[in-house]
Amino acid sequence: MAKNKKLNYTYAVGRRKSASARVRLYRGKGQNTVNSKPVEKYFTSPINADFWSKPFKVLDIADKYYFSVKVKGGGVQAQLTAISHGLARALGKENQEFRKDLKKSGLLTRDSRTRERRKVGMGGKARRKKQSPKR
């Protein structure tokens, strides 16, 4: 059996709506993975690359770090934002000087908006009213 090499990484959690992303940030060059798949295969649209790469673009350090993420819950957009949030937190832990630029671009702020709960007796969704009789 091969011995597992201990890799040094910075750990952080990013969240958005009901999505939660556990991020491991590594120094050097490597493949960015989400749920053990390459990030380009997990998020297929090229527009999505702007979301997960935003913390690296803000700091201009795209080739100095790579990451591994486990994400669950929420939809595609919430997962992307959770990953971006987690990466920003991990980069902030890695180097305190990064925090200023990340904070200015709004990447360290947790978006606290979540789904509104369903109310009892309303008839369906959170704000939907029951249809009133016409006559």
Whether 108 shows a pLDDT value over 90: the answer reads yes
Residues forming beta bridges with residue 19, ordered by sequence position: 16
Q: Is residue 40 part of a domain?
A: yes
Q: How many domains does the chain have?
A: 1
Domain with 78, as residue range(s), is 9-104
Q: Is residue 15 part of a domain?
A: yes
On whether the CB atoms of residues 12 and 21 are closer than 8 A, the answer is no
Distance CA 103, CA 6 (A): 31
The token duo for 10 is: 């910075």
List the Cα angle 61/22/5 in 5-degree steps.
75
Distance CA 121, CA 97 (A): 52
Q: Over pLDDT 70: what percentage of the chain? A: 96
The token duo for 104 is: 């200015």
The CATH number for 25's domain is 3.30.230.10
pLDDT in tens, 28-49: 999 999 999 999 999 999 899 9
129: pLDDT confidence band, cut at 50, 70 and 90? confident
Local structure of residue 96 (DSSP, 8 states)? T
Q: Is residue 47 part of a domain?
A: yes
Distance CA 112, CA 43 (A): 23
The token duo for 129 is: 């009213």
Q: Is residue 28 part of a domain?
A: yes
